[in-house]
């Protein structure tokens, strides 16, 4: 079983990764020759215009999709070698997802939504409730436990989604445009929350259009047409760009 423990190896390692989607006779190249090492504890922002391959990269990092070229290792393990069971296990234990549109299950209460990843893991049933409650407390949403997602504000929904992502203590948190559906004030709150998460062996990869949000990362990867255009420390990190939501 894949475990991610060694802090000296990159948590994620992409070597010349490419992704093509078949489109009728031809195919569309979404990613080409992406080589990237993501170290434990990093806060990495991925930026790029629409269609630059950000989402594809995130899907590959999250083991929701497989590259068609190159090699992806997660915690030292070749992802291409894994079957559905092992991939699901990785998604469950090693990876946490935060989506732009929250993706909470509308029929379940907030607490049940946060519990959902535990259904697919090894945590004994008796601990589910407590773990989920702790995770909700951590994002300051304990008072909303029994509400339905539809009763939450956007900021609250995203907090619930973050609580859900954190409930299995993943080592790699993937956030896809987490402030994209929020107004600037709540966006600021969520940005604050997410940027506080890396460390203690937890890595955060943040995919965004938003310069302000990306500026809070320590490292910035820019994608263009499926290729890495630049990869380095965030410029003017000390300057601390003001956060502006809605900038796309």
Partner 1 sequence: MSPRVLLHLGLRSLLLHKLRSTLSILGVVFGVAAVTAMSSVGEGARRESIAQIGALGIDTVTLRARPAAAGSAPGPGLSLRDAESVGRVVPDLRAIAPVRLATLGASAGSQQADAIVVGTTPAYRDASRIALASGRFVSDLDVSGGKRIAVLGAGIARALFPFGGAGGPVRVGDDWFHVVGVLEGRAVARGRPGPIRSLDVNRAIFVPLPALDRGGDARPEGVDEIVFRVADASRVTEAAAVARRVAERSSGGASFEVVVPREILRQQERTQRIFNVVTGAIATISLLVGGIGIMNIMLAGVAERTREVGVRRALGATRRDVASQFLVESSLLTVAGGVAGAALGVVGSLLIQRFAAWPTALSPLMLLIALVMALGVGVGFGFYPAWRAAHLEPMEALRHE
Q: Phi, psi at residue 141, to the nearest 5°?
A: -125, 20
Nearest distance from residue 215's CB to partner 1, in Å?
27
**Euclidean distance between CA atoms 111 and 133, whole angstroms:** 7
The residue within the footprint of partner 1, chosen from 20, 39, 65, 189 (CB under 8 A), is 65
Which two structure tokens, joined as six digits, stand for 3? 């475990």
Among 5, 80, 120, 235, binds partner 1 (CB under 8 A): 120
Pairwise CA distance, residues 206 & 83, whole Å: 27
Nearest approach, Cβ of 108 to partner 1 (angstroms)? Answer: 8
Q: Rule CB under 8 A: say whether 103 interacts with partner 1.
A: yes
Stretch of residues binding partner 1 (CB under 8 A), selected from 33-41, 85-93, 132-140, 186-194: 85-93
Pattern of binders to partner 1 over 149-188, x per CB under 8 A?
Answer: ---------------x---x--------------------
Nearest of 94, 78, 65 to residue 13 by alpha carbon = 78
Residue 31 bridge partners (DSSP) = 19
The residue among 4 and 220 lying less far from partner 1, judged by its C-beta, is: 4
Sequence-distant (≥ 6) Cβ neighbours of residue 79 within 8 angstroms = 63, 66, 72, 73, 87, 90
Q: Per the structure block, which two tokens stand in for 29?
A: 């190249």
- Binding segment for partner 1 (CB under 8 A), chosen from 43-51, 82-90, 197-205, 210-218, is 82-90
Taking the complex as a whole, the smallest distance from the CB of residue 10 to partner 1 amounts, in Å, to 22
Which of residues 8, 26, 85, 236 is near partner 1 by CB under 8 A? Answer: 85
Is residue 59 a contact point for partner 1 (CB under 8 A)?
yes
Compute the least distance from the CB of residue 6 to partner 1, in Å: 22
**Interface pick for partner 1 out of 13, 54, 73, 89 (rule CB under 8 A):** 89
Residues of the shown chain interacting with partner 1 in the complex, contacts defined by CB under 8 A: 55, 59, 62, 64-65, 84-85, 88-89, 91-93, 97, 99, 103, 105, 107, 116-117, 119-121, 125, 164, 168
């Amino acid at each position: 079983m894949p475990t991610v423990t060694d802090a000296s190896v990159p948590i994620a390692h992409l070597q010349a990764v490419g992704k093509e989607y078949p489109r009728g006779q031809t195919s569309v190249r979404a990613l080409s020759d992406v080589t990237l090492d993501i170290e434990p504890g990093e806060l990495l922002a991925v930026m790029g215009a629409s269609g630059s391959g950000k989402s594809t990269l995130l899907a590959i990092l999250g083991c929701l999709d497989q590259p068609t070229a190159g090699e992806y290792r997660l915690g030292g393990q070749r992802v291409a070698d894994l079957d559905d069971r092992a991939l699901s296990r990785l998604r469950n234990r090693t990876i946490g997802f935060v989506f732009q549109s929250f993706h909470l299950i509308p029929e379940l209460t907030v607490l049940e939504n946060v519990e959902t990843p535990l259904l697919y893991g090894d945590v004994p049933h008796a601990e589910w409730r407590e773990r989920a409650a702790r995770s909700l407390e951590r994002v300051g949403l304990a008072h909303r436990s029994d509400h339905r997602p539809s009763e939450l504000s956007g900021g609250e929904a995203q907090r619930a989604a973050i609580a859900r992502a954190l409930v299995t203590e993943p080592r790699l948190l993937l956030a896809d445009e987490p402030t994209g559906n929020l107004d600037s004030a709540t966006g600021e709150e969520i940005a604050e929350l997410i940027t506080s998460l890396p460390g203690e062996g937890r890595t955060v990869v943040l995919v965004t259009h938003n310069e302000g949000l990306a500026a809070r990362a320590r490292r910035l990867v820019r994608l263009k047409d499926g290729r890495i255009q630049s990869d380095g420390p965030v410029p003017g990190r000390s300057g601390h760009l003001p956060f502006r939501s809605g900038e796309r």
